[in-house]
């Protein structure tokens, strides 16, 4: 599954964690690809995926990538 974070100006830890939880934990997606993430969102996504044990299924591209 792909999610475009390009238009997201503010990302809170709870918002990002909920995306990771819903897509990777509860819906069992084989992969979550995030594009256009801000540096903060990038950090929060990786932290949430690490905390939930699904880091190997997360691919994050920052806005500058």
User: In terms of pLDDT, which residue wins out, 65 or 45?
Assistant: 45
**pTM, full prediction:** 0.91
pLDDT reported for residue 16: 96
CB-CB neighbours of 54 under 10 Å: 19
pLDDT reported for residue 11: 85
List Cβ neighbours of 2 (8 Å cut-off, separation of 6 or more).
32, 33, 34, 35
Rounded Cα gap, residues 34 and 15, in angstroms: 14
Tell me 63's DSSP state: T
pLDDT tens figures, 1-59:
999 999 888 889 999 999 999 999 999 999 999 999 999 999 999 999 999 999 999 99
Tell me 25's DSSP state: I
Nearest to 19 by CA among 29, 63, 65: 29
């Amino acid at each position: 599954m792909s999610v475009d974070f390009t238009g997201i100006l503010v990302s809170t830890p709870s918002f990002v964690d909920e995306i990771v939880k819903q897509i990777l934990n509860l819906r069992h997606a084989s992969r979550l690809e995030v594009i256009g993430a801000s540096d903060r969102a990038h950090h929060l996504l990786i932290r949430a995926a690490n905390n939930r044990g699904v880091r190997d299924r997360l691919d994050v591209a920052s806005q500058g990538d």
